Amino acid sequence: MDINDEKVVLSASEKNRARGQEALKASSVLQSIQTLKQEATAAQKNLDDAVVKARSDGYSWVAIAAALGVSPQGARQKYLRVTA
């Protein structure tokens, strides 16, 4: 049997992923979504890093919350995981 005679069988999720990749290549709006998602991920990491720095510099959750525009409790709940 020649290697070219073998058939590749894809699962449903692999087929969907392949269709999605083809649509992404063909669509500037989908490419924009992908780019914006990458930028949002990078921005969130930068924000996490800034909160960690603020805490290590001795700023209170009250001060950090004011900068974020949220309650101190909300800031603590969201960012305690990255500052612990």
Residue 27 is assigned to a structural domain of this protein? yes
**How many structural domains is the chain composed of?**
1
Residue the block writes with tokens 């612990």: 84
pTM over 0.75: no
User: For 1-25, what is the mean pLDDT?
Assistant: 74
Residue 25 is assigned to a structural domain of this protein? yes
Residue 2 is assigned to a structural domain of this protein? no
Amino acid at 81: R
Q: Please give the DSSP secondary-structure letter assigned to residue 4.
A: G
Range of the domain at 73: 7-83
Residue 1 is assigned to a structural domain of this protein? no
**pLDDT tens-digit map of 34-60:** 899 999 999 999 999 999 999 999 999
Q: What pLDDT is stored for residue 4 in this prediction?
A: 58
User: For 10-20, what is the mean pLDDT?
Assistant: 83
Q: What pLDDT is stored for residue 10 in this prediction?
A: 75
Q: Where do runs of H (alpha helix) occur along the chain? A: 12-26, 28-56, 61-68, 72-83
